[in-house]
Amino acid sequence: EAGVVQSPRYKIIEKKQPVAFWCNPISGHNTLYWYLQNLGQGPELLIRYENEEAVDDSQLPKDRFSAERLKGVDSTLKIQPAELGDSAVYLCASSRGVTGPGGADTQYFGPGTRLTVL
Amino acid sequence: AQSVTQLDSQVPVFEEAPVELRCNYSSSVSVYLFWYVQYPNQGLQLLLKYLSGSTLVKGINGFEAEFNKSQTSFHLRKPSVHISDTAEYFCAVSDRDTGRRALTFGSGTRLQVQP
């Protein structure tokens, strides 16, 4: 079974430029997550999708960040314009999506996209 | 609100020695508990998770963790480490009751296994 695929793996851009990251989750996984991982820190959730619907985007800086998950499969995260402080690793994860409450789902992570903003 | 504290940012240990990586959490609701490992330039991989039942959980690669509700801890242990265990280890929690499935991570512990 293929894992979570992310591209590109590395991206270097100048500040104020736009950038986009792509994620393809594991086949059959209904839930998709985007996390931000700063250097020396644990990942922090940006947005969670259940199929096509963004159900938890409270931590997404909506003035410059946007995301979409058309057709409930792959997803794109965009930053426009990028700032120096956006330099980090952007992780995508997916899970099957269990019924009922709770977070017992195992999340499977992609290798991440390392963004450097100059 | 939840938070996870990993008390040691780095743990150096010699090969074949035992190791314990400490994790404490704070939450106003019941939680599930996880340990993930991150090798250089790779994504996070699940080591083990506690959902319910026995408080001693066994995971992959010989790791185990024990849930202690009274001390709100979930420490990770391995009786004998290998060079290949050198990596970053993250403790995480998720809500048991609210349906918010996002993980809240600690800041990580870098395990450095020396020959």
Six-digit token pair at A17? 């430029």
Pairing of strands A44-50, A31-37: antiparallel
Q: Is the pLDDT of residue A89 over 60?
A: yes
pLDDT at B100: 66
Taking the C-alpha atoms of residue B44 and residue B38, their distance in angstroms, rounded to an integer, is 5
Give the pLDDT of residue A105.
80
Pairing of strands B31-38, B87-95: antiparallel
Number of Cβ within 10 Å of residue A45's Cβ equals: 22
Number of separate helices (H) and strands (E) present in chain B: 0, 12
Q: Of B94, B54, B66, B4, whose CA–CA distance to A95 is shortest?
A: B94
The answer, yes or no, to whether residue B32 has pLDDT greater than 60, is: yes
Residue B45 has pLDDT above 90, yes or no: yes
Q: CB distance B100–A31 less than 8 Å?
A: no
Compute the average pLDDT of residues A3-16. 96
Length of chain A: 118
Comparing CB atoms, the residue among A4, A31, A103 nearest residue B43 is A4
Work out the average pLDDT over A96-118. Answer: 82
User: Is A95 within 8 Å of B101 when comparing Cβ atoms?
Assistant: yes
Distance CA B13, CA B3 (A): 27
Of B55, B1, B11, residue with least CA distance to B33: B55
**Residue of chain B whose alpha carbon sits nearest to that of A3:** B43
- Nearest chain A residue to B93, by CA: A103
Q: Which of B33, B34, B101 to mutate to test the interface with A (most CBs of A within 10 A)?
A: B101
Cβ neighbours of residue B53 closer than 8 Å, sequence gap 6 or more: none
Q: How many CB pairs under 8 A join A and B?
A: 76
pLDDT digits (tens, 9 = 90+) for B51-104: 888 899 999 999 999 999 999 999 999 999 999 999 999 999 988 776 667 899
Q: What is the mean pLDDT of residues A106-111?
A: 92
Confidence class for position B28, pLDDT limits 50, 70, 90: confident
| Yes or no, beta carbons of B96 and A44 under 8 Å apart | no
Across chain A, what does the average pLDDT equal?
91
**Could you say which residues from 24 to 53 on chain A have a Cβ atom under 8 Å away from some Cβ of chain B?**
31, 33, 40-45, 48
CB B34 within 8 A of CB B49: yes
- Hey, what are A95's tokens? 């899970």
Cα separation values, B79 from A16, A39, B13, Å: 50, 29, 12
Residues 6+ apart with CB under 8 A from B62: B78, B79, B80
| Model confidence at A41: pLDDT above 80 | yes
- For the segment B8-18, the average pLDDT, to the nearest whole number, is 97
Residue B115: pLDDT band by 50, 70, 90 thresholds?
Answer: very high
In chain A, residues with a C-beta closer than 8 Å to the C-beta of B89 are: none
